[in-house]
Amino acid sequence: MKSKNEHNRKLLSKNASGRIEFCEECNVVELEIGAFSIRLHAQDLSILNHLIREADFNLNFHQLEKARTEYGSLSNELH
């Protein structure tokens, strides 16, 4: 078995929060975020992407509803 450094890995994405690499030989995508690392089959990347996008949407909706409720109660106190 080859070590991680012996595989030909392609950098798919990188920013300040982490990086995503693909090993074609293993058909594995590896996400590194700080000290956290997760490996998954390449075909599962789109499933993870959908999960994260849905969570982001729901979090934004929750925060918007919370702000709207807080604004509404503040507005009622002023009247």
pLDDT tens-digit series, residues 6-24: 889 999 999 999 999 999 9
Q: Is the pLDDT of residue 71 over 60?
A: yes
Q: Is the pLDDT of residue 73 over 50?
A: yes
What pLDDT score does 17 carry?
Answer: 94
Which of 56-66 are b and which e, b meaning 16 or more Cβ less than 10 Å from the residue's Cβ? Answer: eeeeeeeeeee
What pLDDT score does 69 carry?
Answer: 87
pLDDT tens-digit series, residues 43-68: 999 999 999 999 999 999 999 999 98
DSSP readout, 2-60?
--GGGS-EEEEEEETTEEEEEETTTTEEEEEETTEEEEEEGGGHHHHHHHHHHHHHHHH
